[in-house]
Amino acid sequence: MDNITREKTLAATAAVSRIKPNMIVGLGSGSTAEIAVQLLGEKVKNGMQITGVPSSVTTKKLAQTFDIPLITDAVPAKIDITIDGADEFDENLNLIKGGGGALLHEKIVASASRELIIIVDSRKTARPLGSSFHLPVEVIPYAHVIVEQTLCQLGSTPKLRRNNDKPFVTDEGNYILDCNFNTIANPQKLASDISQIPGVVEHGMFIGMATRIIIGSGETTRELQA
Ligand code: 5RP
């Protein structure tokens, strides 16, 4: 196992140790969250009863391979703990997510969760949002040209995410605009401005949602708490 995978595994293991029998567990998306799903699968195999709520089609398929019982039709109103990854976080535990394109379902799952535990490797450290990752904004295809123009007026240089030659399409059939805002001075204000643009479905800033960030670091983990 390489160093980064080991750090992801350490963070995922620490997060999964917080899962107790009969919990409803939000299952995040991305390579780090997938390790947590695999570890949860081992718990289920050993007889622990949990119910998972997947945040993407990819995660749903993975969880099914481990026979984790799932709720897939609609997100329940109460989820005990969600374990997910992040592309960036700041010292106030605000996040940028959506590198894998699952930000809409991830945010819905997170919003229902009593605890949102974020797991990352040591390449990710607390820094102002936007300083190392472009903000993903999910838009309905019909609106992507006008939304792109409005996001330019807000100070970014949006780029339509592509998958080979075609626009990348999310689980809900939408497009993603990856927006370079450089360092985001006021995430709350920008989040509010972007949410008001007609045609925007969701943006990748998770403000005040994470309760704990577990960072795999060498042979150990360190944690940030809200
Ligand atoms: C997907 C996400 C992921 O959680 C984020 O991209 C982190 O992924 P990884 O753990 O592979 O670095 O937000 O939409």
- pLDDT > 90 in the chain, percent: 99
Give, in words, the CATH class of 135-197.
Answer: alpha beta
Residue nearest to atom 3 of ligand 1 (CA): 30
Distance CA 112, CA 92 (A): 20
Mutate to test the pocket of ligand 1, among 37, 83, 87 (most ligand atoms within 8 A of CB): 87
Neighbour order of strands in the sheet with 88-89: 88-89, 95-96, 205-206
Q: For residue 1, what pLDDT band results from cuts at 50, 70 and 90?
A: confident
Whose Cα sits closest to atom 5 in ligand 1?
Answer: 86
Task: Identify the pLDDT of residue 159.
Answer: 98
- Stretch 195-211: mean pLDDT, rounded? 98
Atom of ligand 1 nearest to the CA of 102: 14
Tens of pLDDT, residue by residue over 136-184, are 999 999 999 999 999 999 999 999 999 999 999 999 999 999 999 999 9
| Beta strands at 95-96 and 205-206: parallel, antiparallel or unpaired | antiparallel
Q: How far is the CA of 47 from the centre of ligand 1 (A)?
A: 29
What's the CA gap between 33 and 100, in Å, rounded?
A: 11
The CATH classification number of 3-126+207-225 equals 3.40.50.1360
Q: How many whole angstroms separate alpha carbon 203 and alpha carbon 210?
A: 16
The alpha carbon of residue 135 and the mean position of all alpha carbons in its chain are separated, in whole angstroms, by 12
Entry pTM:
0.97
In whole angstroms, what is the distance from residue 114 CA to residue 112 CA?
A: 7
**What value does the mean pLDDT of the chain take?**
98
What is the model's pLDDT at position 150?
Answer: 98
pLDDT of residue 180: 98
Does position 35 have pLDDT exceeding 90, yes or no? Answer: yes
Domain range summary for the chain, segments of one domain joined by +: 3-126+207-225, 135-197
The owner of tokens 């920008």 is 190
**Of 7, 34, 88, 106, which is the active-site residue?**
106
Question: Ligand 1 in contact with 100 (CB < 6 A)?
Answer: yes
Task: Decide the pairing of beta strands 113-121 and 212-217.
Answer: parallel
CA distance 119 to 212: 9
- pLDDT value for 55: 98
Q: Is 106 a catalytic residue?
A: yes
